[in-house]
Amino acid sequence: MNDNSKQSPVRVKVRSFSDLFGKSKHPYAVDTYQRGFVWNDEKIRQLADDLADYQKAPDPKPPYYMGTILVHFHAQKKKRFIIDGQQRLTALCVLYQQLQGCLPEKCALTYSPQSARRIRCAAGIFREHLNLPNPDIFRQIVFTVISVNRVDLAFTFFDTQNNRGFRFMPRTCSKPTT
Q: What angle do CA 74, 103, 140 make, to 5 degrees?
A: 90
Element (H, E) at 73: strand 64-74
pLDDT in tens, 52-106: 999 999 989 999 999 999 998 898 999 999 988 999 999 999 999 999 999 999 9
- Measure the CA–CA gap between 115 and 108, rounded to whole angstroms: 15
Distances (CA, A) of 129 to 14, 46, 166: 29, 11, 40
**HSE-up of residue 97 (Cα within 13 Å, Cβ side):** 15
pTM of the model: 0.82
**Residue 168 — very low, low, confident or very high, per pLDDT cuts 50/70/90?**
very low
Virtual torsion, Cα 54, 56, 59, 62, nearest 10 deg: 0
Are the beta carbons of 44 and 91 closer than 8 angstroms? yes
